[in-house]
């Protein structure tokens, strides 16, 4: 049988407060938002605005949902769906949101490049870029808001966005992103 206490201990060692592993849906995102808001506003020893953490959580979770949606016709689609995990934790006074999912190796380098680029920008430049991307494209565009979520996270993060990727095979990797709220 699975040793849940051990699993819970590992989560605690990483200071994870909330964790969801498995197939995401909008309904789950909404439930978790309510739960985070409740927990954060009940004062977990911080003066931080829960909306900041929630906004980072929503962008990460919806990025994964949207990415998986794009992989609908991929032969490993089920694997993509099941690979998602989102955690919200607290490190001292500050919160972090870390999520992971399977990514197609063809998409990995462009994504890492995008994050490196965002990390290199000053707050003023990030704001300009955010407004530029907002103005691009209309309601009918296929990649209507691609990248806005990442720029938002870069703007709200207290430190550069962190990421890691682990190769699974020639086609797939596991990707994880961490934002300190």
In Å, how far are 150, 152, 164 from 55, measured between CA atoms?
11, 9, 22
Residue closer to another protein by CB (options 2, 142) is 142
14: how many CB neighbours lie within 10 A of its CB?
Answer: 13
Shortest distance in whole angstroms from residue 30 CB to another protein: 4
Among 55, 87, 157, 178, interactor with another protein by CB under 8 A: 55
Q: Is 100 in the site for another protein (CB under 8 A)?
A: no
Asked if 17 touches another protein (CB under 8 A), the answer is no
Binding marks (x or -) toward another protein, 144..163, rule CB under 8 A?
xx--xx-xx-----------
Give the Cβ contact number of residue 153 at 10 Å. Answer: 23
**Which of 7, 8, 34, 132 is in the footprint of another protein by CB under 8 A?**
34
Other CB atoms within 10 A of residue 160 CB: 15
Surface-to-core class of residue 109, CB atoms within 10 Å of its CB (0-12 exposed, 13-18 middle, 19+ buried)? exposed
Report in angstroms how near the CB of residue 34 gets to another protein at its nearest. 7
CA distance 87 to 78: 21
102-131 residues in contact with another protein (CB under 8 A) are 127, 131
Q: Is 62 in the site for another protein (CB under 8 A)?
A: yes
Determine the 3-state secondary structure of 173 from DSSP.
strand
Q: Can you tell me which of 20, 36, 59, 68 binds another protein, judged by CB under 8 A?
A: 59
CA distance from start to end of the chain: 36
Q: Which residues bind another protein (CB under 8 A)?
A: 26, 29-30, 33-34, 49, 51-52, 54-55, 58-59, 62, 65, 127, 131, 134-135, 138-139, 144-145, 148-149, 151-152
């Amino acid at each position: 049988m699975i040793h849940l206490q051990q699993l819970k201990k590992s989560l605690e060692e990483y200071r994870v407060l909330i964790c969801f592993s498995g197939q995401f849906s909008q309904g789950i995102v909404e439930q978790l938002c309510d739960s985070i808001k409740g927990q954060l506003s009940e004062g977990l020893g911080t003066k931080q605005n829960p909306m900041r953490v929630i906004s980072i959580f929503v962008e990460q979770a919806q990025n994964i949902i949207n990415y998986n949606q794009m992989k609908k016709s991929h032969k490993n689609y089920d694997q993509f769906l099941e690979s998602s995990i989102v955690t919200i934790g607290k490190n001292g006074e500050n919160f972090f949101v870390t999520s992971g999912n399977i990514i197609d190796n063809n998409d990995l380098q462009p994504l890492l490049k995008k994050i490196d680029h965002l990390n290199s920008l000053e707050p003023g430049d990030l704001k300009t870029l955010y407004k530029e991307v907002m103005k691009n494209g209309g309601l009918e565009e296929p990649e209507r808001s691609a990248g806005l979520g990442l720029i938002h996270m870069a703007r709200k993060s207290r430190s550069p966005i962190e990421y890691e990727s682990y190769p699974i095979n020639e086609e797939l990797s596991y990707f994880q992103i961490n934002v300190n709220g």
